[in-house]
Amino acid sequence: MSRIYLNAFDMACVGHQSAGLWRHPEDQGHRYTDVRHWVELAKLLDESGFDALFLADVLGVYDVYNRSRDAAVADAAQVPVNDPTLAVSAMAAATQRLGFGLTISLTYEQPYQLARRLSTLDHLTDGRVAWNIVTSYLESAARNLGLDGQIPHDERYEIAEEHVDVCYQLWESSWEDDAVVRDAERGVFTDPAKVHDINHKGKYFTVRGPHLCEPSPQRTPVLFQAGASPRGMKFAASHAEAVFVSGPSPSVVRKTVDRLRSAVAEQGRDPRSVKIFTMLTPITAETSEQAQTKLREYEELVSVPGAFALFGGWTGVDLAELDVDKPLTYADVDANRSALASFTTADRAWTPRELAGFVGLGGRGPVITGSPTEVADELERWVDEADVDGFNLAYVTTPGTFADFARWVIPELRRRGRVPEHTEPTTLRERLGFPSPRLAPPHPGAAYRRS
Amino acid sequence: MSRIYLNAFDMACVGHQSAGLWRHPEDQGHRYTDVRHWVELAKLLDESGFDALFLADVLGVYDVYNRSRDAAVADAAQVPVNDPTLAVSAMAAATQRLGFGLTISLTYEQPYQLARRLSTLDHLTDGRVAWNIVTSYLESAARNLGLDGQIPHDERYEIAEEHVDVCYQLWESSWEDDAVVRDAERGVFTDPAKVHDINHKGKYFTVRGPHLCEPSPQRTPVLFQAGASPRGMKFAASHAEAVFVSGPSPSVVRKTVDRLRSAVAEQGRDPRSVKIFTMLTPITAETSEQAQTKLREYEELVSVPGAFALFGGWTGVDLAELDVDKPLTYADVDANRSALASFTTADRAWTPRELAGFVGLGGRGPVITGSPTEVADELERWVDEADVDGFNLAYVTTPGTFADFARWVIPELRRRGRVPEHTEPTTLRERLGFPSPRLAPPHPGAAYRRS
């Protein structure tokens, strides 16, 4: 019986992936500006057995639907959105075990500064931080950062390859393990002979070094990635230690998982060592009936324009031009067929309104509604059929969805041996099943380690 | 009797401005990687009556002395150094009143991202954040960030002018005060008509907007600045709400203060509205004799190479080439006369060894040693003679210097009416004596406010 890993999926914003649900009287999403909100959430997740809090991010607004950002703004659909890294130390100070997965785009940052921020967080969290490597997908972000439009997709990944390579050098090879000696007698805090320049001169970056930070518990943070395109999957196969996937059914997700594990193996890495999380929204209560009642209550609050705004941002497809009740054809969305397919089972046609219902509550994954045993059964089915290692649990209301899951489902998963009874404080890398706090060969980052 | 403002001056590193003092058995500087260290420090400062914790930063190492970074590395003189912004939320969650002044260089960052980070911190601290605007002074930093060398000094300030102008637009004019309505009835979280693009197209930056963040308590964080050059002073006169100066005697500092207040007046701003802090290291104990004993104990631990490393980084002058016991002449340091003058009274010649003693304990300011009444007398003399509003208190050991000052001197300052008995939780801007949490005219940032 394998362990099931659980991430709470959230974002430093009012409404992450449940369009319109901020109107629910119990939703606390609007408290995202309050440090106490994050401390309370972290404690809830830590005490109940979640493995990590995973925070998404964007650097622009969703303005594809109706060629306007109005729907996203009115519905607080991922706007306003604060920086995801800055509440982490408050949450770390209040917890001992919870990991923190942080989405940071490398497209608009220098590796020297980004590497320092992550090293600092790895120190402050005692080694509980992960970097979700993204290259940004919004045109609107590019126009906020001095560009006329996005850098072409595959070139973004070329930049990403060099960027992470610079980070590996800073994290793994600039400071030797025993560089810091703190020898008051000799008057040597750090042995200068054990701190090295990296002298990187590449196509996109020039960085002399040394790294500004002494070695942190994990050195390289745990590396998360979510690329679904062929180029994105190649990147994930080389670099990622955990990968996020999504799809509406185990069979759809299974195809992605099989391709991904093969790609990992082609890179000479153990395909089981990469933890794969699929997205899912759980709605649960003591009984099946109570859970179904909740679902209906939630469904009434979904905002169709808000859902279309999210869908437009993710896929580039503007549903405003289509009849909401007429089934979509691939011709409607020809420009972005694969993006649409990832939302649907692709075995039947969806109307825009049906899509809104899907996106509005679950984002890019399915909604699983039921009693604790029903939800646990369904999670186990997903693990078996889709061959995933765990779940990114999206919320309908926050912290309501997480609190319900913690109260009802995690105890059931414990009874089934899927979640451990007790977890020792360790680094996040160890918590995710890796044998050491550090990157290990054949991961490309480990190649920079000095023996 | 005017209020005296007190900042604790620190940095996310082992040794900030007391070279070699990490060897003192009570020093806890090496705990800078531990979030608990920062939470304990913040509580101490908050409960004892400090106004703010001010954190310095650099993006490179000190490698002018002996044309090598070895002295800085061995002595942990500002290397290793973590990102100063990331422990703030943990400190904010543990305090209600303390402000946080954060040094962030704008030379290597896009304003769109930097503005979001500061807005996020202003939210998470309930309006207690200040930005110490710097343009970076280390060649070594430039070579870590893709440049062959530093951008020329005055051009750095041209970039800075445009950078802060973009930030003001994002902070002050992108979101109207009443944009966020959270009207569940109408289904409107934010009124889209009240969120605006900024459409900035300048020489250095292109930013469409809107700002990603909803209005934070202060909108624009309190603006700190420390430029001592003519161009730096012009920048401070336009933008700064608090300015950091330094010098070894009240008469030397007074000249800077007079020039600065005149420059502020020339910009049409009230010269008294800008709070001026001078740097100073207090060594205190219950009695004068005990304080003098501490001083001698500290002096024995000063690292001369560490002090020379700091001095070289700040001034560009390599003291390794000179006889440590031969008085310096201006010819020795011709390249950077004004930098040297700011360290000394300029009315006598110093030897490099004497300079090391000065820099090694006090950084760029004097050491004041004595009983609580002696130190309080000396602070009052500085306020009167130098016309400053307060002090950046540097440490010899951390948190020892701050704890001693909190225990012995602050109660004495309270008795004299220089520190209030009780402080209500407010924004940092209000705590520093400004009438509102927001920037007010004629500050240039206030010009972007919508009525």
Does the pLDDT at position A41 exceed 60?
A: yes
Chain B residues close to A70, C-beta within 8 Å: 192
* Type of residue found at A325: D
Measured CA to CA, the distance from residue A195 to residue A187 in angstroms comes to 17
Q: How large is the angle between the packed helices B352-362 and B288-299, nearest 10 degrees?
A: 120
Strand partners, B393: B8, B280
- Residue B278 labelled as part of a binding site: no
Q: Does B80 sit within 8 Å of A214, measured CB to CB?
A: yes
Q: How confident is the model at residue B107 (pLDDT cuts 50, 70, 90)?
A: confident
pLDDT value, residue B335: 46
Q: What is the DSSP string of A275-322?
A: EEEEEEEEEE-SSHHHHHHHHHHHHTT--HHHHHHHHHHHH---GGGS
Measured CA to CA, the distance from residue B308 to residue B289 in angstroms comes to 30
Least CB–CB distance from A73: residue in B89, B123, B195 = B195
pLDDT in tens, A383-440: 999 999 999 999 999 999 999 999 999 999 999 999 999 999 999 999 999 999 999 9
Nearest chain B Cα distance for residue A396, angstroms: 16
pLDDT value, residue A335: 46
- Average pLDDT of chain B to the nearest whole number: 92
Mean pLDDT of A49-68: 95
Q: Does B192 sit within 8 Å of A80, measured CB to CB?
A: no
Measured CA to CA, the distance from residue B172 to residue B164 in angstroms comes to 12
Q: Which of residues 382-421 of B touch A (CB under 8 A)?
A: none
Higher per-residue pLDDT: A154 or A195? A195
Interface test with A, best of B43, B124, B171, B304 (most A CBs within 10 A): B124
Least CB–CB distance from B36: residue in A93, A188, A214 = A93
Chain A residues close to B81, C-beta within 8 Å: 212-213
Asked if the C-beta of A90 comes within 8 angstroms of chain B's C-beta atoms, the answer is yes
Instruction: Give this prediction's pTM.
Output: 0.96
Nearest chain A Cα distance for residue B179, angstroms: 10
Binding-site entries of A for FMN: 57, 103, 153, 157, 229
Q: Which of residues 129-158 of A touch B (CB under 8 A)?
A: 140, 143-147
Does the pLDDT at position B403 exceed 50?
A: yes
Asked if the C-beta of A79 comes within 8 angstroms of chain B's C-beta atoms, the answer is yes
pLDDT value, residue B245: 93
Q: How confident is the model at residue A347 (pLDDT cuts 50, 70, 90)?
A: low
* Type of residue found at A104: I
Name the residue with tokens 């973004």: A156
Handedness of CA A149, A154, A155, A156 (dihedral sign): positive
Chain A residues close to B140, C-beta within 8 Å: 208
Q: Which residue of A has its CA nearest to B197?
A: A144
Q: What is the DSSP string of A138-204?
A: -HHHHTTTT-SSPPPHHHHHHHHHHHHHHHHIIIIISB-TT-EEEETTTTEEE-GGGB----EE-SS
Instruction: Report CA Rg, chain A.
Output: 22
Strands A180-183 and A188-190: antiparallel
Measured CA to CA, the distance from residue B298 to residue B281 in angstroms comes to 12
pLDDT in tens, A211-254: 999 999 999 999 999 877 888 899 999 999 999 998 888 998 99
Interface test with A, best of B40, B69, B86 (most A CBs within 10 A): B86
Mean pLDDT of A93-122: 96
Report ipTM (2 d.p.): 0.96
Measured CA to CA, the distance from residue A211 to residue A196 in angstroms comes to 8
Measured CA to CA, the distance from residue A444 to residue A269 in angstroms comes to 10
- Residue A366's Cβ-count burial label (10 Å; 0-12, 13-18, 19+) is buried
Cα–Cα distances in Å, from B163 out to A223, B11, B99, B166? Answer: 32, 24, 24, 5
Strand partners, A5: A390
Q: What is the DSSP string of A4-21?
A: -EEEEEEESBSBSSSTTG
Nearest to B139 by CA among B121, B128, B151: B151
Does the pLDDT at position A321 exceed 90?
A: no
Does the pLDDT at position A7 exceed 50?
A: yes
- Residue B103 labelled as part of a binding site: yes
- Residue B303 labelled as part of a binding site: no
Interface test with B, best of A30, A119, A124, A169 (most B CBs within 10 A): A124
Cα–Cα distances in Å, from B272 out to B243, B261, B268? Answer: 12, 7, 12
Does the pLDDT at position B334 exceed 80?
A: no
pLDDT value, residue B269: 96
Rounded to 5°, angle at Cα A135 from A56 and A332: 85
Chain A residues close to B143, C-beta within 8 Å: 206-208
